[in-house]
């Protein structure tokens, strides 16, 4: 039976519509990565975000590690024993409790997105439908390969079921592809862009109304700005008009340890997102390297980030950024087309293309990933292909390939590249803004 929610129930939770409305006001939507197991604390966190009326913002409920693996009993036992969780157990808590948790967002008219990291999310989607929450994140690739050992075919089947559940029971359902954040760092931009387009097409094929496309900040602003432009162009070419927007993630790799270095990275990332025209931004905090952020740290980061809008607007590409744009566009398009040519059934196409190496995520150890691709950071701070494996890339692309095995020290230096850079600058120039 179709139990699709009425429009009034989901009115305050339509993330995609809210983002579009903010875009018309030239406002970016700033969103924390917030999740607490205790309902009162989670409610307080959403209330604190909702109270920030000076800029566009979205609430987040990030789920706990037990819920992510389908354990719905341990979370409540842990909370009763006074053990804190690293997120909110939305399936474990009863409906009345969670409706109270989201009430500050409902009253203030801001959306709430459920973030979870689950390769088999059917129970989470079902609970979202019961609560009238319509926005989440993930995907059959991006929530499978980096996170565990579940076979890709099982993840694809689980996400097909979940998308169909959303289509049947949630009006205006929205999924954000996590494809732009594969492995957190060290993935060449073109593979991130391609996975986004593929997952968005997968969601729409199975009845989901709208999707967002993610892109995680890399090691070069010029390369990132070009890649975001390429992602936007491909979205216009492959996705129906009005069904998508772009969300930018502040650096997802090793974060600076000093508050000064972290603050500078947060502000610089916010400026890059605004200059690139991203509609929504996932905001990191100064404590990313050491602990789960507090409510106060999340609000500080939101204010610091939103201050970038007072100084910057969307900017055209420079000549250097255009070079990256063309390279990323050409590579990502070749991967997307290869998947679409594999099968009209995108689930089958995804599975087959990972088996043959047409899709291959660098440094990913999942058994269904061939693991033949490698990247490195060049002298300009850009991520380049060290080995492209069997990716369907044009051999004339200028920056493909040292075809050299990285040493362990080189790899570790790559992992620490951004954190070391910003911690080194920490005692020098501070952010020219006030949170």
- Looking at residue 407, what is its pLDDT? 81
- Looking at residue 11, what is its pLDDT? 45
- When pLDDT is cut at 50, 70 and 90, the band that residue 43 belongs to is very high
- When pLDDT is cut at 50, 70 and 90, the band that residue 378 belongs to is very high
The residue-averaged pLDDT of 79-108 equals 96
The residue-averaged pLDDT of 101-126 equals 96
Angle at 319 between CA 315 and CA 322, to 5 degrees: 75
> Is the CB of residue 123 less than 8 Å from the CB of residue 86?
no
- Looking at residue 424, what is its pLDDT? 87
The residue-averaged pLDDT of 196-222 equals 97
Q: What percent of the chain has pLDDT over 70?
A: 92
- When pLDDT is cut at 50, 70 and 90, the band that residue 10 belongs to is very low
- When pLDDT is cut at 50, 70 and 90, the band that residue 380 belongs to is very high
> Is the CB of residue 280 less than 8 Å from the CB of residue 246?
yes
Decide if pLDDT at 110 tops 60: yes
- Looking at residue 148, what is its pLDDT? 83
Q: Which residue has the higher pLDDT, 147 or 163?
A: 163
Average per-residue pLDDT for the chain = 92
> Is the CB of residue 32 less than 8 Å from the CB of residue 60?
yes
- Looking at residue 6, what is its pLDDT? 35
Query: What is the reported pTM?
Result: 0.94
Q: Which residue has the higher pLDDT, 417 or 368?
A: 368
Look up residue 57 and give its two tokens: 């913002």
- Looking at residue 377, what is its pLDDT? 93
Between CA 125 and CA 123 the distance in angstroms is 5
Between CA 428 and CA 164 the distance in angstroms is 52
- Going from the C-alpha of 249 to that of each of 113, 219, 244, 285, the distances in angstroms are 15, 13, 16, 12
Please enumerate in sequence order all residues whose Cβ is within 8 A of that of 341, keeping only pairs 6 or more positions apart, or say none: none
Between CA 343 and CA 326 the distance in angstroms is 27
Between CA 254 and CA 184 the distance in angstroms is 9
Decide if pLDDT at 8 tops 50: no
Comparing C-alpha atoms, which of 206, 270, 317 is closest to residue 431? Answer: 270
> Is the CB of residue 168 less than 8 Å from the CB of residue 129?
no
- When pLDDT is cut at 50, 70 and 90, the band that residue 361 belongs to is very high
- When pLDDT is cut at 50, 70 and 90, the band that residue 435 belongs to is very low
- Looking at residue 184, what is its pLDDT? 84
pLDDT tens-digit readout, 239-293? 999 999 999 999 998 899 899 999 999 999 999 999 999 999 999 999 887 778 9
Decide if pLDDT at 138 tops 80: yes
Taking the mean position of all CA atoms in its chain, how far away is CA 263?
Answer: 20
- Looking at residue 402, what is its pLDDT? 52
- Looking at residue 273, what is its pLDDT? 98
> Is the CB of residue 371 less than 8 Å from the CB of residue 341?
no
> Is the CB of residue 211 less than 8 Å from the CB of residue 166?
no
Q: Which neighbouring-strand residues pair with 280?
A: 29, 247
Decide if pLDDT at 396 tops 80: no
The residue-averaged pLDDT of 388-407 equals 69
Could you tell me the strand order of the sheet in which 29-32 lies?
56-57, 29-32, 280-283, 244-249, 210-216, 174-177, 135-138, 112-115, 59-62
The residue-averaged pLDDT of 129-152 equals 95
User: How far separated are the first and last CA of the chain, in Å rounded?
Assistant: 49
Decide if pLDDT at 408 tops 90: no
pLDDT tens-digit readout, 44-86? 999 999 999 999 999 999 999 999 999 999 999 999 999 999 9
Please enumerate in sequence order all residues whose Cβ is within 8 A of that of 405, keeping only pairs 6 or more positions apart, or say none: 374
- When pLDDT is cut at 50, 70 and 90, the band that residue 434 belongs to is very low
């Amino acid at each position: 039976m179709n139990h699709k929610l009425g429009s009034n129930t989901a009115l305050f939770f339509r993330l995609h519509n809210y983002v579009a409305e903010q875009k018309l006001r030239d406002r970016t939507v700033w969103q924390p990565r917030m999740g607490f197991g205790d309902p009162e604390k989670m409610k307080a966190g959403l209330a604190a975000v909702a109270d920030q009326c000076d800029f566009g913002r979205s609430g987040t409920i990030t789920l706990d590690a037990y819920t992510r693996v389908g354990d719905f009993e341990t979370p409540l036992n842990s909370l009763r024993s006074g053990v804190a969780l690293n997120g909110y157990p939305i399936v474990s808590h009863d409906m009345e409790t969670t409706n109270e948790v989201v009430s500050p967002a409902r009253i203030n008219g801001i959306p709430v997105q459920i973030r979870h990291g689950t390769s088999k999310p059917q129970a989470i989607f079902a609970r979202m439908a019961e609560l009238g929450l319509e926005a989440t994140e993930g995907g059959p690739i991006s929530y499978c390969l980096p996170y565990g050992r579940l076979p890709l075919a099982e993840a694809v089947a689980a996400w097909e079921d979940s998308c169909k559940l959303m289509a049947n029971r949630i009006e205006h359902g929205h999924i954000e592809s996590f494809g732009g954040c594969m492995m957190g760092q060290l993935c060449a931009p073109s593979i991130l862009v391609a996975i986004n387009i593929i997952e968005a097409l997968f969601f729409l094929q199975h009845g989901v109304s709208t999707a967002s496309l993610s892109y995680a900040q890399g090691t070069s602003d010029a390369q990132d700005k070009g890649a975001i432009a390429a992602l936007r162009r491909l979205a216009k070419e492959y996705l129906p008009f009005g069904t998508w927007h772009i969300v930018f993630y502040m650096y997802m790799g090793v974060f600076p340890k000093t508050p000064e270095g972290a603050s500078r990275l947060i502000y610089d990332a916010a400026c890059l997102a605004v200059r690139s025209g991203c509609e929504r931004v996932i905001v990191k905090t100064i404590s990313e390297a050491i602990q789960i952020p507090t409510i106060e740290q999340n609000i500080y980061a939101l204010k610091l980030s939103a201050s970038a809008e007072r100084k910057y607007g969307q900017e055209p590409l420079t000549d250097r950024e255009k070079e990256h744009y063309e390279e990323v566009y050409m590579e990502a398009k070749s991967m997307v087309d290869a998947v679409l040519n594999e099968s009209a059934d995108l689930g089958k196409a995804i599975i087959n293309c990972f088996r043959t190496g047409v899709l291959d995520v660098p440094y990913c150890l999942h058994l269904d990933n061939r693991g033949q691709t490698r990247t490195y950071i060049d002298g300009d701070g850009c991520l380049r292909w060290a080995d492209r494996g069997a990716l369907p890339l044009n051999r004339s692309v200028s920056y493909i390939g040292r075809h050299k095995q990285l040493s362990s020290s080189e790899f570790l230096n790559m992992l620490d590249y951004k954190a070391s850079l910003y911690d080194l600058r920490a005692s020098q120039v501070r952010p020219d803004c006030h949170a």
